[in-house]
């Protein structure tokens, strides 16, 4: 299991952030997540594997400036 | 240096106007030519149309200058205003000052939105806006004392040189016992000797028992301040509470303040953690999205960015409450204590650095090829202490470095300095020179636009290449985002009234990452709505960050998440609670639209404000050089073939650069057309008579300016 926005989500070996978002609804604005405290941005979603027991926060809009 | 001396040369007692529903309805005019102090009421019609803040500033400036006024003419007027909502303790971002003047860099009105307590203290002392005009014949300090209801003008001598020391000395001088009652506005030696001088607005950090400051950075208002021989303007006021604005509905104000603050307290730790890292979280995010300027905006990412972002600064920032306004829950104005510079007048001493924010890290770090958190801190410290805008400093030095690496300038011109990318010693040496107005630094301190001219005429450098890589528009240096892949943000910069600063529109992610505005009309709509709403913060005396840097958890379920509608409703409630005027979210936009268009006409009055002046350098649109193209070849090749349907098989890189450029420049022109139409402007970018009539700014002098520019 991993925690995504404080809710448990089923985890599997090799799961990437892109895979996680694929199975979630309403994530069209998610271009950055925090994976175990570290920022990961959308260009890296497909290559970033989620470790077991990870804690993930989906960051909403990036507002800038 | 001797002991600081302040000799009172004028004192004017006054009856402090009561604040009613966020307004004092009084303006304070200080003419330094005559050491004249005048207080006058603000017309109801001006209040209705210009709302406050930037609106008031622009109106008073418009009346003070003519179309031929230059930045260093005595009639150039620095206006500072707080806005009706400014000075609400506990409301996140509820206490900004808005400063304007005719800019030394652009020749047109410039505005800057800044923290610190000055704006609210000045308002509560009795003045919605202050206008500083004329030039003193000696160094001058102005005190607005709302506790004793007196305005005083002092001749000053032996003041500390830097803003860092001067803010502290004047804070303690004017209220030794209660330094928290004081806010000081200062510039510094760099403001005297460059065209991008900033103003430092202070507050006393009661927790750390020290003076802190934030900067009104853009456009050289500090340079105008120094040119008037003003060393400092000080506001003094006592205890404030939610009642000090005398709101129309105190209970409603308490409710909306509590609601917004509570949400930030709950969600910031789950979102951007600005209370811990400020805006440095943007460094890795921009880097990953290829939007972090590196090497004079040539590229958008660099492996070195990993050591200049939030991961590092979170551990360097001093722990404690960091609101630049009282009780601001975002509390993002971090600093570093006991920092020891390795160069300059503070070498080896321990100082407190206020910052850095994202813009400084990007502008004075990655953009210069400097990937060292401590050097960035040192640059940040000296720019503030000298009174120089870190954005213009970073963007100007980046330009110089690229010119140097391309041999457009050599050590013959730089006084022997190697100004290659990454050279932190030369960067700091240049900054010290700029502040003293000496050596090659004196030329860099004139900004990118003037450097282009000097390098071309005196050093015979390639003018066309410098036009492409010199990151300025309207004379103002770009703030720190790469816009090559976001046409909407190219417009966000190029079509911004004061020049390329991101505070009007920041659309990179909506456009480039989410592709939510595929058509020109979509982009034009965004380039209408966002600048209008963002302008509203400047009218009211607020900080924009609490609007959309922390968003409600259910924001994504709303119809237009980018607008963060729930917060806009809170802002409408906030405005209603203070002013007593029942206000809808649409009303906020119409308030701004009048002032926004007025500012465009003001640009026109000063000889700017037309289509030509909305031009941006090609580097903001696409790859200038083969090196840039080849670094992202797959991206550009795909665009040429798929988006533009070209056969590129026989093309070399230079041919591809040229082909892409033709397309992108044409797109930018089409974007201008779409935005002008949406804003109710003609094809030359000038508001039509119908537009100014609809907005109620069809004053005779506005119509006269339009007519002079061919608007029938
Ligand atoms: S959000 Fe940050 S910059 Fe804005 S008022 Fe609060 S502390 Fe200052």
Task: List chain B domain ranges.
Answer: 5-236, 279-477, 482-550+584-712
Tell me if chain B has a CB within 8 Å of the CB of A31.
yes
Chain A residues lying within 8 Å of B488, measured CB to CB? none
Cα separation values, B300 from B156, B363, B365, Å: 47, 12, 13
A65 within a domain of the structure (yes/no): no
Which of B288, B544, B548 is opposite residue A44, by nearest beta carbon? B288
Of the residues A7, A26, A34, A39, the best mutation for testing chain B's interface (the one with the most B CB atoms within 10 Å of its CB) is: A39
Decide: B622 and B660 in contact? Cβ < 8 Å.
Answer: yes
Q: Report which secondary-structure segment, H or E, holds B353.
A: strand B351-354
Considering only CB atoms, which chain B residues are within 8 Å of A35?
none
Beta-carbon contacts of B52 under 8 Å, excluding residues fewer than 6 positions away, are B22, B23, B81, B82, B83, B84, B86, B128, B129, B539, B540, B541
Query: What is the structure's pLDDT at A32?
Result: 95
- Mean of all residue pLDDT scores within chain B: 97
Q: Give the pLDDT score at A27.
A: 86
Structural domain tally of chain A? Answer: 1
Quickly name the fold that domain B5-236 has: Aldehyde Ferredoxin Oxidoreductase;  A, domain 1 (3.60.9)
Write the CATH number for A27: 3.10.20.30
| Cα(B96)–Cα(B90) distance, integer angstroms | 13
Total number of residues shown for chain B = 712
B269 CB-contact burial (10 Å; exposed 0-12 / middle 13-18 / buried 19+): middle
Per-residue pLDDT tens digits for B469-499: 999 999 999 999 999 999 999 999 999 999 9
Give B66's contacts (C-beta < 8 A, 6+ positions apart).
Answer: B75
**How far apart are the CA of A35 and the centre of ligand 1, in A?**
26
Q: Do A63 and B506 touch (CB under 8 A)?
A: yes
CA closest to A45 among chain B residues? B288
- For residue A48, the chain B residues in CB contact (below 8 A) are none
Rounded CA separation B326/B89 (Å): 5
Q: Is the pLDDT of residue A63 over 70?
A: yes
Instruction: Write out the two tokens for B599.
Output: 């500012």
Residue with tokens 């000496």: B438
User: Cα separations (Å) of B15 from B100, B126, B237?
Assistant: 27, 8, 14
- Ligand 1 pocket test: pick from B267, B278, B325 the residue with the most ligand atoms within 8 Å of its Cβ: B325
Q: Residue B707 CB: number of other CB atoms within 10 A?
A: 11
Around ligand 1, the residues with Cβ closer than 6 Å are: B 93, 115, 323-325, 328, 330-333, 543, 545-546
Quick one: pLDDT at residue B242? 97
| Cα B542 to ligand 1 centre (Å) | 9
Is this structure's pTM higher than 0.95?
Answer: yes
Q: Quickly name the fold that domain B482-550+584-712 has.
A: 1.10.599
pLDDT band for position B414 (cuts 50, 70, 90)? very high
Which pLDDT belongs to residue A28?
82
In the prediction, which pLDDT does B514 show?
Answer: 87
What ipTM was predicted for this assembly? 0.95
Q: Please answer yes or no on whether A43 and B556 come within 8 Å at the CB atom.
A: no
Instruction: Say if residue A25's pLDDT is above 90.
Output: no
Q: 3-class DSSP state for residue B567?
A: helix
Tell me which of B333, B335, B541, B549 to substitute to probe ligand 1's pocket, judged by most ligand atoms within 8 Å of the beta carbon: B333
Whether A36 maps to a domain, the answer reads: yes
Task: Tell me if A24 is assigned to some domain.
Answer: yes
User: B549 exposed, middle or buried (CB, 10 Å; 0-12, 13-18, 19+)?
Assistant: buried
CB B11 within 8 A of CB B151: yes
pLDDT grade, residue A61 (50/70/90)?
A: confident
pLDDT tens across B519-577, in order?
A: 999 999 999 999 999 999 999 999 999 999 999 999 988 988 999 999 999 999 999 99
CA of B142 to the centre of ligand 1 (A): 26
- Domain B279-477 class in CATH: mainly alpha
Q: Can you count the helices (H) and strands (E) in chain A?
A: 1, 5
The predicted pLDDT at position B1 comes to 54
As a whole-number percent, the residues of chain B with pLDDT over 90 amount to 98
CA distance A13 to chain B (A): 25
Instruction: For residue B662, report the phi and psi dihedrals to the nearest 5 degrees.
Output: -60, -45
Residue nearest to atom 6 of ligand 1 (CA): B93
* Listed residue (B120, B582, A6) closest to A54, CA to CA: A6
* Neighbour tally for B570: CB within 10 Å: 23
B391, B359 Cβ separation under 8 angstroms:
yes
- Residue B15 burial (10 A CB sphere; 0-12, 13-18, 19+): exposed
Task: Write out the residue range of the structural domain in which residue A50 sits.
Answer: 2-60
Tell me how far apart the alpha carbons of residues B691 and B593 are, in angstroms, rounded to a whole number: 10
**CA-closest candidate to residue B64, choices B129, B141, B154:** B129
Does the beta-carbon distance from A39 to B285 stay under 8 Å?
yes
First to last CA, chain B: 61
Q: Which residues of B395-422 are buried (b: 16+ CB within 10 A; e: fewer)?
A: bbbbbbbbbbeeebbeeebbeebebebe
Helix axes B585-605, B700-708, angle to 10 degrees: 50
Interface residue ranges in chain B relative to chain A, Cβ cutoff 8 Å: 270-272, 281-282, 284-285, 288-290, 310-311, 479, 481, 502-503, 506, 508-509, 513-514, 544-545, 548-549, 551, 555-557, 561-562, 564
Taking the C-alpha atoms of residue B707 and residue B712, their distance in angstroms, rounded to an integer, is: 6
Task: Categorize the per-residue pLDDT at A65 as very low, low, confident or very high, splitting at 50, 70 and 90.
Answer: low
Q: Is residue A10 part of a domain?
A: yes
Strands B230-236 vs B140-145: parallel, antiparallel or unpaired? parallel
SS3 B294: strand
Cβ contacts of residue B356 below 8 Å, gap of 6+? Answer: B280, B313, B364, B376, B377, B380, B390
């Amino acid at each position: 299991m991993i925690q995504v926005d404080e809710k448990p989500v089923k985890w599997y070996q090799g799961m990437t952030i892109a895979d996680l978002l694929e199975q979630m609804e309403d994530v069209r604005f998610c271009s950055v997540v925090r994976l175990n405290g570290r920022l990961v941005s959308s260009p890296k979603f497909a290559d970033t594997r989620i470790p077991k027991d990870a804690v993930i926060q989906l960051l909403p809009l990036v507002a800038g400036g | 240096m001797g002991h600081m001396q302040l000799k009172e040369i004028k004192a004017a007692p006054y009856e402090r106007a009561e604040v009613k529903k966020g307004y004092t309805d009084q303006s304070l005019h200080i003419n330094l030519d005559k050491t004249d102090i005048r207080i006058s009421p603000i017309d109801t019609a001006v209040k209705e149309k210009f709302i406050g803040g930037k609106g008031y500033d622009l109106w008073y400036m418009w009346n003070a200058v003519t179309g031929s006024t230059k930045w260093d003419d005595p009639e150039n007027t620095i206006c500072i205003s707080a806005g009706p909502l400014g000075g609400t303790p506990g409301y996140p971002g509820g206490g900004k000052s808005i400063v304007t003047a005719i800019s030394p860099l652009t020749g047109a009105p410039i505005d800057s939105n800044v923290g610190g307590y000055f704006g609210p203290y000045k308002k509560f002392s009795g003045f919605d806006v202050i206008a500083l005009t004329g030039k003193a014949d000696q160094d001058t300090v102005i005190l607005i004392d709302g506790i004793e209801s007196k305005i005083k003008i002092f001749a000053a001598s032996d003041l500390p040189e830097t803003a860092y020391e001067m803010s502290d000395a004047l804070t303690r001088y004017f209220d030794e016992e209660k330094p928290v009652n004081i806010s000081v506005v200062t510039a510094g030696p760099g403001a005297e000797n460059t065209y991008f001088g900033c103003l430092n607005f202070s507050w006393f950090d009661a927790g750390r028992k020290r003076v802190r400051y934030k900067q009104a950075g853009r456009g050289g208002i500090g340079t105008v301040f120094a040119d008037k021989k003003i060393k400092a303007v000080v506001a003094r006021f006592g205890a404030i509470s939610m009642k000090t604005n005398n709101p129309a509905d105190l209970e409603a104000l308490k409710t909306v303040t509590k609601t917004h603050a509570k949400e930030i307290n709950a969600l910031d730790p789950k979102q951007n953690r600005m209370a811990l890292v400020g805006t440095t979280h943007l460094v890795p995010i921009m880097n990953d999205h290829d939007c972090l300027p590196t090497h004079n905006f040539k590229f958008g990412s660099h492996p070195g960015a990993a050591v200049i972002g939030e991961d590092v600064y979170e551990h360097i920032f001093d722990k404690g409450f960091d609101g630049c306004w009282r009780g601001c829950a975002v509390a993002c104005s971090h600093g570093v204590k006991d920092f020891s510079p390795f160069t300059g007048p503070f070498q080896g001493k321990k100082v407190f650095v206020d910052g850095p924010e994202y813009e400084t890290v990007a502008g004075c770090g990655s953009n210069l090829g400097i990937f060292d958190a401590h050097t960035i801190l040192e640059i940040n410290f000296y720019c503030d202490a000298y009174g120089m805008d870190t954005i213009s400093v970073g963007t100007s030095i980046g330009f110089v470095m690229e010119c140097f690496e391309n041999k457009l300038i050599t050590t013959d011109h730089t006084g022997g300095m190697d100004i290659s990318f990454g050279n932190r010693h030369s960067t700091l040496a240049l900054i010290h020179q700029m502040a003293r107005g000496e050596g090659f630094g004196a030329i860099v301190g004139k900004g990118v636009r003037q450097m282009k001219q000097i390098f071309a005429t005196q050093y015979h450098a390639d003018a066309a290449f410098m036009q492409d890589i010199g990151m300025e528009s309207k004379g103002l240096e770009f703030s720190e985002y790469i816009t090559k892949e976001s046409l909407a943000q190219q417009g966000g910069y190029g079509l911004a009234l004061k020049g390329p600063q991101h505070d009007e529109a920041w659309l990179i992610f909506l456009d480039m990452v989410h592709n939510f505005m595929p058509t020109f009309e979509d982009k034009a709509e965004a380039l209408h709505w966002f600048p209008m709403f963002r302008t509203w913060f400047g009218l009211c005396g607020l900080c924009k960050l609490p609007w959309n840097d922390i968003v409600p958890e259910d924001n994504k379920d709303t119809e237009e998440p980018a607008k963060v509608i729930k917060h806009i409703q809170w802002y409408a409630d906030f405005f209603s609670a203070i002013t007593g005027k029942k206000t809808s979210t649409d009303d906020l936009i119409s308030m701004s639209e009048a002032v926004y268009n007025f500012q465009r006409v003001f640009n026109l009055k000063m000889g700017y404000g037309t289509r030509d002046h909305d031009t941006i350098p090609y580097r903001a649109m696409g790859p200038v050089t083969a090196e840039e193209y080849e670094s992202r070849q797959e991206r550009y090749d795909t665009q040429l073939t798929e988006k533009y349907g070209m056969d590129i098989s026989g093309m070399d890189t230079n041919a591809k650069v040229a082909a892409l450029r033709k397309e992108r420049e044409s797109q930018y022109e089409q974007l201008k057309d779409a935005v002008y139409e949406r804003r109710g402007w003609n094809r030359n970018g000038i508001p039509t008579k119908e537009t100014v009539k609809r907005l109620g700014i069809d004053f005779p002098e506005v119509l006269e300016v339009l007519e002079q520019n061919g608007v029938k």
